[in-house]
Each structure stands twice: as C-alpha cells, then as structure tokens.
Amino acid sequence: MNNFVFYSPTEFVFGKETEMQVGILAGKYGARKVMIVYGGGSVVRSGLLDRVKQSLREAGIQYCEMGGVQPNPVDTKVYEGIELCRREQADLLLPVGGGSVIDTAKAIAAGVPYEGDFWDFFIGKAKVVKALKVAVVLTIPAAGSEGSGNSVITKVDTLQKLSLRVPELLRPVFSIMNPELTYTLPPFQMACGIADMMVHIMERYFTNTQDVEISDRLCEGTLTAIIKEAYRIQRNPEDYGARANIMWCGTIAHNGTCGVGCEEDWASHFLEHEVSAIYNVTHGAGLSVIVPAWMIFMAGHNPKKIAQFANRVFGIPESEDLEEMALAGVSRLKHFFRFIGLPVNFKELGIEEPDIDRLADSLHRNKGEFVGNYVKLTKQDSKEIYRLAL
Ligand code: NZQ
Ligand code: ZN
C-alpha cells in the first residue's frame, strides 16, 4: 500500500425529506446568500426547487438562482455563473441536481475569487488557492461529485472535456441525499449512473499496487452491492431500500475511500471523456461501451486484476488461464450492462463510424504520451481500444 492523505470533510445528510434541512445547514456553514444552480428543469417539475427555497426562506437565508445547466456541462455557463455570483455577492454555491450541475457550481466557486480565466485551472495554468463553499442537494446517484473534489467541464470552442481535482477546496461542505428524489429518474439515466459509479470503483481497483486488500475488498463489496440493488430497482423502481443503497454506493465509489493507497488508473474515463466531448453522449453510456473494450485489451496485456474481478464480482471459477477468466468476466459485465438497458459498443451508442484517429489524437493531446497506469497506453493502444468497442 502506498502512502496517502485522505481528506474528506463533507457532511452527508441522508434520508427521506432531508432537503428540508438545507436552510439550517447553509446557516450552520456561515452562508448569508446562496446561489442555487440547477439544470434543465427536472427540479422545477418535481417541486424540489420550491421546497429548497422554502427551507432557505425559513432559515432567513437569501438566494439567487441560475438554471439551464446542460448534461456534459460547458464553460459558457460557468462564465455566466461567475458573473451572476459576483453581482449578487453570494457566498455559497448550492447546486440542486446531478454531476453536471454540481461540477458547474464547483467551477464557479473556484472562478469567483480568481482574477484570471477559470479555464486556467483546468489546463493546469493556475492552481486553485481560494474557492467559495459548495453544498449539494443531490438528485441522481452517478458522478459522485457530491463527495468528490472534482469538476469536469467541456470547453465549447475546442470540445475539450477536462477535469479539475482540488479535494481540499472543492469537496462540498455538506451534501443532502434523499433517495426518494431519484424515483423520477428515467430508467436510462439511472442505468448510466450505475455504470458510472461501477467504473469509478474499477478505475481504482485495477491497480498494480501490492498489499491493497482493504481497498480490493471495499471495491468488490461495493460493486456486488450495486449489481444486486440494480436488479431490485429493475423489478420495482420505487423500492426505497434499493434506491438508498445505490445512492450511497455512488458516493462511496468516488469519494476516495475505495482507492486510498493505490495507484489509480482512469484511462477508461479519459477515453470516454473524448467520446462525450465530441459526440455529446451520456457519460455512463460512453463508459459502458469503453470499459469492456479496455478490459478486453487488458486481458491480453495484464489480466491479473481483471481475472480477480471476474472471480470475486461475477463468480467466474478460478483457473490457470487468467486471460480466459478475465474474458469471461467481461462477458458477464456486458450482459449486466445490456440487461439494465445500456449500450456495449459504439453502434449501440448511436455512433456508426466513430472517428478513431480524432478521438485518439485529442486524448493524447489532452493527456500526454501515455494514458492510465494499469498498463500505460500509447496512442496505438488507445486506437486499439476504441476499435475493440466498435
Ligand atoms: O437537467 P435536468 O432537467 O435536471 O435533468 C437531468 C439531466 O438531464 C436528469 N435528472 C437528474 N436528476 C433527475 C433527473 N431527471 C429526473 N429526475 C431526477 N431526480 O438527468 C440528466 C443527467 O444529469 P447529469 O447531472 O448530467 O448527470 P450525472 O450526475 O451523471 O453527471 C454527469 C456529468 O458528471 C461528469 C460527467 O462527465 C458528466 O459531465 N463527471 C463528474 C465527476 C466528478 N465531478 O467527480 C466524475 C465523473 O466521472 C464524471 O466524469
Ligand atoms: Zn465517471
């Protein structure tokens, strides 16, 4: 196990009707005026936004608001938010929604006290040394942004989808998680969330770091729980227990717990970010296409952990032939993704002829000569993985 620092100060407030505590919690964290950020309107239609505002009013907290954040959030909305936040002098960002809304709020939080262009942080030109506080009301278990210090934004002009990681400053101060809010999610969106959280775990699990038994077991246990609860939700979408378990799995998957002490991989995410940047597909659906292809590639190059995954998560019997075990595990994973309604190749994703050269060129321009750690991918390797996803 490698040395590590794990700093995760978020207060999670979990359960039914917890959104009604948002005003009190915002006051507890010193907010005088919050800026509510939301997406395309699901929170308006469900009445959640009204309940959040009511709770703020009851606690004597002022607010302003910005809606219209789109999935695969873009820089232009961040600029708009920075301007509004400065004008209104809000002191806490309150995203009400999913990863796209939360990530936009985090980028605004970092951008407001900074004199330059917030995009500098995403391209490594500047470091975030100060940020406004962010607090979350989560409506979709998926990206894990409610517990992570990350923000992922796409620059419209260049179609670069890049992530920023600042756990010390961008982890939310509190995150409200009411599993009942997820009942209104379209099944496809729910399935995408399930794939995303699974891959957040797998990016950490597929490591060459030795003596990480605790991380391995946390990862395997959480993956098994996700698969089991996903089947329950398929049978009964209003199964509160299953929704609750999945929602907490989404946080555990990405708040860092599962990966401490490991060299993490993240190649699948970077390969996918190019796909969602260029073709604007849903992140989780992009992952259900890319990850099986990445695993097939790994079965031929470094099968050890893929075979262990196959055995411990999907019950593939142990054998001397690790590659065969690994490939059997990939088949089971694809079967699971298909069962919950996800694509497992580019065609099913609606991209008949992906421009593989463009995807790989952009990936290595953004991320350098080598991508990932489990096997360091060259541009040729990346192209092969994209081809395996055809
Ligand atoms: O916009 P509205 O109308 O609210 O609808 C949203 C949106 O269309 C809808 N939705 C959310 N909650 C709902 C609901 N519809 C009905 N009922 C509800 N309760 O779902 C759609 C997707 O929302 P989005 O926020 O885009 O989903 P998600 O949480 O999956 O976030 C995806 C984004 O997060 C990034 C992804 O790349 C993508 O841009 N990621 C962020 C990470 C992070 N910050 O740590 C890590 C991830 O790996 C990921 O890359
Ligand atoms: Zn993800």
Tens of pLDDT, residue by residue over 86-103, are 999 999 999 999 999 999
Minimum-distance ligand 1 atom for the alpha carbon of 200 = 48
Give distance in angstroms: CA of 331 to centre of ligand 1.
27
Give distance in angstroms: CA of 292 to centre of ligand 2.
15
Give the residue whose CA is nearest to atom 49 of ligand 1: 143
The rounded Cα 327 to chain-centroid distance in angstroms is: 26
- Which ligand sits nearest to residue 99's alpha carbon? 1
Ligand 1 in contact with 41 (CB < 6 A)? yes
Ligand 1 in contact with 81 (CB < 6 A)? no
Q: Is 316 exposed, middle or buried (0-12, 13-18, 19+ CB in 10 A)?
A: buried
Residue 171: which of 75, 105, 248 has the closest Cα? 105
Residue 26: which of 94, 81, 89, 82 has the closest Cα? 94
Ligand 1 in contact with 167 (CB < 6 A)? no
ipTM over 0.90: yes
Give pairs for 380-383: CB < 8 Å, separation 24+: 381/297, 382/271, 383/356, 383/357
- Which ligand sits nearest to residue 163's alpha carbon? 1
Q: How many Cβ atoms sit within 10 Å of the Cβ of residue 162?
A: 21
Residue 138 · residue 110 · CB < 8 Å: no
Minimum-distance ligand 1 atom for the alpha carbon of 181 = 19
Residue 243: which of 235, 203, 313 has the closest Cα? 235
What is the Cα–Cα distance from 324 to 303, expressed in whole angstroms? Answer: 9
* Structure confidence by residue, pLDDT tens digits, 131-148: 999 999 999 999 999 999
What is the Cα–Cα distance from 283 to 286, expressed in whole angstroms? Answer: 5
What is the reported pLDDT for 303?
98
Residue 315, amino acid: G
What is the reported pLDDT for 343?
98
What is the Cα–Cα distance from 299 to 325, expressed in whole angstroms? Answer: 9
Which of the 8 DSSP states describes residue 318?
P
9, 11, 14, 18 alpha-carbon torsion, rounded to 10°: -150
Give distance in angstroms: CA of 352 to centre of ligand 2.
23
Ligand 1 in contact with 185 (CB < 6 A)? yes
Residue 22 · residue 56 · CB < 8 Å: yes
Q: What are the start-end ranges of the H helices in the chain?
A: 22-28, 42-45, 48-58, 75-88, 99-111, 119-122, 167-170, 187-205, 213-235, 240-254, 267-279, 283-301, 304-314, 322-339, 346-349, 356-367, 379-388
Give the residue whose CA is nearest to atom 34 of ligand 1: 99
Ligand 1 in contact with 286 (CB < 6 A)? no
Give distance in angstroms: CA of 373 to centre of ligand 1.
27
* Structure confidence by residue, pLDDT tens digits, 317-351: 999 999 999 999 999 999 999 999 999 999 999 99
Give distance in angstroms: CA of 373 to centre of ligand 2.
17
* Structure confidence by residue, pLDDT tens digits, 29-60: 999 999 999 999 999 999 999 999 999 999 99
List the structure tokens of 356.
Answer: 């593989």
Give distance in angstroms: CA of 138 to centre of ligand 2.
16
What is the reported pLDDT for 196?
98
Give distance in angstroms: CA of 290 to centre of ligand 1.
19
What does each C-alpha distance from 364 to 283, 300, 352 come to in angstroms? 19, 22, 23
Share the mean pLDDT of the chain.
98
User: If you average pLDDT over residues 139-162, what whole number do you get?
Assistant: 97
Sign of the C-alpha dihedral computed for residues 137, 142, 143 and 147 taken in this order: positive
What is the Cα–Cα distance from 291 to 357, expressed in whole angstroms? Answer: 19
What is the Cα–Cα distance from 267 to 244, expressed in whole angstroms? Answer: 29
- Which ligand sits nearest to residue 276's alpha carbon? 1
Given strand 33-37, what is the order of strands in its sheet? 11-14, 174-177, 133-138, 92-97, 33-37, 62-66
What is the reported pLDDT for 69?
98
What is the reported pLDDT for 277?
95
Going by their DSSP bridges, the two strands 150-155 and 160-165 should be labelled as antiparallel
List the structure tokens of 331.
Answer: 């088949």
The rounded Cα 265 to chain-centroid distance in angstroms is: 15
For 180, phi then psi, to 5°, come to -65, -25
